[in-house]
Structure 1
Amino acid sequence: MKKTWFITGASQGLGLEFVAQLLAAGHNVAATSRTIAGLEKAAGTHPNLLPLQVNLTDESSVETAVSDTVAKFGAIDVVVNNAGYGQLGALEELTDAEARANFDVNVFGALNVIRKVLPHLRKQGSGHIFNVASVGGYTGAFPGWGVYCATKFAMVGFTESLSYEVAEFGVKATVVLPGYFRTNFLKGTSLAVPETPIAEYTAVRKSENMHTEDIDGNQGGDPVKGVAAVIEAEASGKAPLYLFLGADAVGMARQKNEFVNNEILAWEALSTATGFGEN
């Protein structure tokens, strides 16, 4: 069945792979990027492709993109909030401006898309929103990734609430939590480092070097297979609320579940002795 997909962050990485696979499968694709030139250079041209220059932090820009998509294709069936970037740095190192900038794109940019697309999805009584977070939105056990993880934890939280809010309208929501996929995410164009690093944070520097020097280019996740998995989940009509991608993501999620369960068991007596009448 031919559908119209609205993809953000479509000029590179997973977003660009979504564009390629969806067009090959005969779907309509509205693809957003910060510049039309960069998007067309990466994705080329296609009768079913609508390239859109969008500033995701500007509500009017997002609204125009959504309206242009509906005007061209008649509807929007699937939304993929994929745009975002990584911010390295210990919480003490990062300035207010650095932290807010990461939230502006990763969190508020996605919320702008959701806010502008939902009137159309509600009216048509169908649709599916996929918010691409990270396994770092499920476990924060990554020194130097606190702000980035916070943006992705936020995405996990609002996606879960969203799924309950829009169910009555026939609209679905899924949060995608990838592990390490071999894209350019760990390169300069997608990864910001702290402006004023603090030398004492040796664990953070070690993590930073490990990601930019050792992991980059050696990620175990295949972007082609990762994107295909999301498309398959959507086509099934039964996509889960939480969709982990990659054996590493699944393993880290299980470790987090076990850790939290052990914490609950160890502290259950104290945790539950807080009601009126409890001794």
Structure 2
Amino acid sequence: MKTKVWFITGASKGLGLALVQKLLAAGYRVAATSRNVADLQKAVGAGPDNFLPLGMNLLDEADVEKGIQQTAAHFGQLDVIVNNAGYGLLGALEELSDAESRANFDVNVFGSLNVIRKALPILRAQQSGHIFNVSSIGGFTGAFPGFGIYCATKFAVQGLTESLATEVKPFGIHATIVSPGYFRTSFLTDNSLGVTKTEIPGYGHVREVQNAHQHSYNGNQAGDPDKAADVMIQVAEQPEPPVHLFLGADAYALAEEKISSVRKDMEQLKNLATATAYAV
């Protein structure tokens, strides 16, 4: 049996489920959470010795703490945290309501923060651990019309994880941002992708993007979630894992395009923008 104990949120489908199945097959011990524990148990089908299914409300700090403590008590340790739970949100920024936008931040950002806060006392005490925060290539480049709020949540995940990596390094803990491209999961289905209730005439290009994601991309994504899970497991075993983990050839291409664009903008105004110090 592999020694590390993993704790994975949003594990009843998609990348989370693929990761749970790969880990159990490899002999790891896994605690996994979902809003519906029966669906999770049915999807995984593993016995109690190395698998602990948990029904957990990410937005309830007491419930999150209970799940973390149950995991540590059941397995005697806690080593790898994967904040995978989240959902997409489609709509132009003008269309999305305050409630729709805040709800996306609550799950995608504050839910992960709840897990991080409740897991860190255990990881700090043992002076080891690894936290994976699943972002998106949309958390590195926001060039996706209609995904502004979703991208904003994932940009927040990127930023907080970069800070987290520096904060926990003295304790022997690692933090990694996972930025997948398009993988063939249920992310683009109704269960994982919210759509604004208000559509404003004139945003035809946003509707085109919306239609493409819901009807053309869905089911045709190039990425294999099982292979993504394999990469994450390998990274977790590295003595010095990276802070940034891009997954998929499309994610790499989009990241390189963003980096090139930023460099171009910087160079264009470098002389002007850097001549801003007080005159000596």
Residue 145 of structure 1: how far off its partner (Å)? 0.1
What amino acid sits opposite 1:43 in the alignment? V
- Alpha-carbon displacement from aligned partner over 1:194-232 (angstroms, at most 9, x marks no partner): 011112101110110111111101101011101101111
1:144 to 146, 151, 166: 146
What amino acid sits opposite 1:27 in the alignment? Y
- Alpha-carbon displacement from aligned partner over 1:48-96 (angstroms, at most 9, x marks no partner): 1000010001100100000000110111100000000000000000000
Identify unmatched segments of 5+ residues in structure 2. none
Counterpart of 2:170?
168
Counterpart of 2:181?
179
Counterpart of 2:86?
84
Sequence identity, in percent?
A: 58
1:225 to 213, 227, 231: 227
CA distance in 2, matches of 1:261, 1:214: 33
CA distance in 1, matches of 2:198, 2:135: 27
CA distance in 1, matches of 2:38, 2:115: 22
- Determine helix, strand or coil for the equivalent of 1:199: coil
Counterpart of 2:8?
7
User: For residues 25-44 of structure 1, what are the structure 2 equivalents within 5 Å?
Assistant: 25-44=26-45
Identify unmatched segments of 5+ residues in structure 1. none
CA distance in 1, matches of 2:126, 2:259: 37
- Alpha-carbon displacement from aligned partner over 1:167-192 (angstroms, at most 9, x marks no partner): 00000000000000000100000000
Q: Which has the higher mean CA deviation after the structures are superposed, 221-230 or 232-241? A: 232-241
- Determine helix, strand or coil for the equivalent of 2:174: strand
Counterpart of 2:68?
66
User: For residues 97-176 of structure 1, what are the structure 2 equivalents within 5 Å?
Assistant: 97-176=99-178
- Alpha-carbon displacement from aligned partner over 1:78-117 (angstroms, at most 9, x marks no partner): 0000000000000000000000000000000000000000
Counterpart of 1:195?
197
Counterpart of 1:212?
214
Moved over 6 A (4+): none
What amino acid sits opposite 1:73 in the alignment? F
CA RMSD, aligned part only? 0.8
CA distance in 1, matches of 2:69, 2:240: 28
Q: TM-score, normalised by structure 2?
A: 0.98
CA distance in 1, matches of 2:187, 2:45: 21
- Determine helix, strand or coil for the equivalent of 2:58: coil
- Determine helix, strand or coil for the equivalent of 1:31: strand
1:95 to 97, 111, 114: 97
- Alpha-carbon displacement from aligned partner over 1:6-51 (angstroms, at most 9, x marks no partner): 0000000000011100001111100000011111121113221000
Residue 235 of structure 1: how far off its partner (Å)? 1.2
Q: Which has the higher mean CA deviation after the structures are superposed, 236-245 or 136-145? A: 236-245
- Alpha-carbon displacement from aligned partner over 1:98-140 (angstroms, at most 9, x marks no partner): 0000000000000000000000000000000000000000000
Q: Which has the higher mean CA deviation after the structures are superposed, 35-44 or 175-184? A: 35-44
CA distance in 2, matches of 1:262, 1:31: 43
CA distance in 2, matches of 1:105, 1:254: 28
Query: How many equivalent residue pairs?
Result: 278
CA distance in 2, matches of 1:63, 1:236: 28
